[in-house]
């Protein structure tokens, strides 16, 4: 059995009953279950349709996300999340670069790296090098003034943990940021790169080994092994090329507002919903969300 989930932006919910019913009828689905009025609904069906991606494309024009997946084992026991442009709305290194006066140069490198055009490790070393001599205190300033959480993140982490899940934040960014974000959102652990500093100034280098694409896969393997879980038990979320390894290995890999070259390699794409979409995918209704 399969389940089709339709959802839209919770700030402007406009999922129409007739639209959901039309798809259900076309695919021979069971009764529609509304997970949140006007925002998210699902139905089950027996066979994968030939026109799944055609339907997806048509719904995208209506600002509706469509996700199709097997019903079995869709509720996961572990969340593995990227941070930059996933759990937060910014790229931390771009914000630091703005403060250092090299914002445009660094943002260009970041965009190309996240799109898979540049080697992640080399791009990180180049960008961090441009931050050399930046006052270390600027990190706290950026955290306070520039970093905002992605909508739905608090509900996602809290609901999964309330239901016995484990939450890990794994970032190619920096520990100075993941530590605060993980604490604020309630993650069980976080992993990231460490910016090096001397005498209160950034040295322009990062501690080795660098946490990149493979390190995220390693985290998936290590944490699941430690917890006695399988990779099938994991829902992973990210937006950049360095997330593709963990997205491909996790039981459910979600490309959230991802770069086009990343999204096209993922079967589960969220372009209009927020992070609560990861709960709807698992069959949680909004009434099931933990209070935050």
**CATH number for position 236:** 3.40.50.1000
Q: How far is CA 140 from CA 8, 183, 216, in A?
A: 34, 15, 26
H or E element, residue 66: strand 65-70
pLDDT tens per residue, range 29-45: 999 999 999 999 999 99
Does 68 lie in the same domain as 167? Answer: no
Catalytic residue among 38, 50, 65, 84: 84
Is 84 known to be catalytic? yes
Mind spelling out the 3-state secondary structure of 207-254?
A: CCCCCCHHHHHHHHHHHHHHHCCCHHHEEEEECCHHHHHHHHHCCEEE
Does 198 lie in the same domain as 83? Answer: yes
User: Residue 286: inside a domain, yes or no?
Assistant: yes
**CATH number for position 35:** 3.30.70.260
Does 41 lie in the same domain as 163? Answer: no
pLDDT tens per residue, range 130-182: 999 999 999 999 999 999 999 999 999 999 999 999 999 999 999 999 999 99
Query: What is the C-alpha separation between 258 and 256, in angstroms, rounded?
Result: 5
Does 172 lie in the same domain as 83? Answer: yes
Catalytic residue among 65, 82, 94, 239: 82
Does 24 lie in the same domain as 86? Answer: no
Question: What φ, ψ does residue 183 adopt, rounded to 5°?
Answer: -65, -40
**Confidence bin at 114 (pLDDT 50/70/90):** confident
User: Residue 265: inside a domain, yes or no?
Assistant: yes
Expressed as residue numbers, the domain containing 24 is: 1-72
Does 79 lie in the same domain as 68? Answer: no
Does 173 lie in the same domain as 245? Answer: yes
Looking at the structure of the chain, the number of domains it has is 2
Does 209 lie in the same domain as 248? Answer: yes
pTM of the model: 0.94
Does 86 lie in the same domain as 7? Answer: no
Indicate the pairing of strand 65-70 with strand 2-7.
antiparallel
């Amino acid at each position: 059995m399969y389940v089709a989930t339709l959802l839209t932006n919770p700030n402007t919910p406009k999922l129409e009953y007739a639209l959901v019913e039309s798809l259900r009828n076309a695919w021979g689905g069971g009764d529609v279950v509304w997970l949140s009025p006007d925002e998210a609904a699902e139905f089950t069906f027996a066979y994968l349709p030939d026109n799944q991606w055609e339907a997806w494309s048509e719904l995208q024009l209506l600002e509706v996300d469509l996700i199709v997946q097997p019903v079995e084992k869709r509720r996961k026991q572990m969340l593995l999340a990227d941070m930059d442009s996933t759990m937060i709305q910014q790229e931390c290194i771009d914000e630091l670069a703005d403060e250092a006066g090299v914002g445009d140069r660094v943002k260009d490198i970041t965009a190309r790296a996240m799109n898979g055009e540049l080697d992640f490790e080399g791009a990180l070393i180049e960008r961090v090098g441009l931050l050399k001599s930046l006052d270390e205190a600027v990190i706290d300033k950026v955290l306070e003034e520039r970093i905002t959480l992605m909508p739905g993140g608090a509900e996602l982490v809290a609901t999964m943990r309330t239901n016995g899940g484990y939450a890990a934040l794994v970032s190619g960014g920096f520990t100075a940021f993941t530590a605060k974000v993980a604490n604020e959102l309630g993650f069980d652990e976080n992993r990231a790169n460490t910016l090096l500093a001397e005498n209160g100034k950034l040295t322009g280098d990062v501690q080795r080994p660098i946490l990149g694409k493979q390190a995220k896969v390693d985290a998936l393997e290590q944490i699941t092994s430690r917890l006695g879980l399988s990779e099938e038990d994991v829902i992973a979320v990210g937006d950049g090329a360095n997330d593709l390894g963990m997205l491909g290995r996790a039981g459910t890999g979600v490309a959230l507002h991802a770069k086009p070259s990343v999204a096209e390699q993922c079967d589960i794409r969220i372009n209009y919903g927020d992070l609560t979409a990861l709960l709807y995918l698992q069959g949680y209704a909004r009434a099931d969300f933990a209070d935050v």
